[in-house]
Every structure is written in C-alpha cells, then in structure tokens.
Amino acid sequence: QKKEKQKMAIRGTENKITERDKLILKGLAEGKDDREIADDIGFSYQTVNAAFPKIMLKLGAVNRYNALYLEFKKKLIK
C-alpha cells in the first residue's frame, strides 16, 4: 500500500494540500525565503525547508516554483 501511495503522490494525484502547505506557498509567492516564511508562520526553518519536497510531491511539481504555479492554477491560494 505504501508503494502505491508513493506512486500516486509522484503522479500528483494525491493532492492533500494542508493549510500549512498553503501558508508556505503563499510566503513563496510573496518572494520570501524559507527563513522569512518560517518567521511569519511560526515554524522552524527546518520545517519549512523540509516541507517543499513534500508539497512538490503532492502536486507532482518539478520544483518549488512549479508547485506554486500549480497551486495558483488550482485556485487553492487566495
């Protein structure tokens, strides 16, 4: 089951973006770096930095800016 779930995430079909993910992507959209995002939302730098690969996996993105584009495209960030 775990392998199948990973395959689904890799294809971007498991799009369970959390509120934290949205806050992190919103900070990226505002041009903030990981440390600034962490300060703004009250998480550690390590948490924010580690979140990007997970967000990218959830969205099937190739990089963090592609994830941002896909997120905006879906209108999940307002």
Output the six-digit token pair for 75. 């209108």
pLDDT tens sequence across 1-57: 555 555 554 554 556 899 999 999 999 999 999 999 999 999 999 999 999 999 999
Give, as one character, the DSSP assignment of residue 5: H
pTM, two decimal places: 0.75
**Are 31 and 40 in contact, with CB atoms under 8 Å apart?**
no
- Number of Cβ within 10 Å of residue 23's Cβ equals 18
d(CA 42, CA 35) in angstroms, rounded, equals 10
Q: What whole-number distance in Å separates Cα of residue 52 and Cα of residue 27?
A: 12
Distance CA 27, CA 30 (A): 5
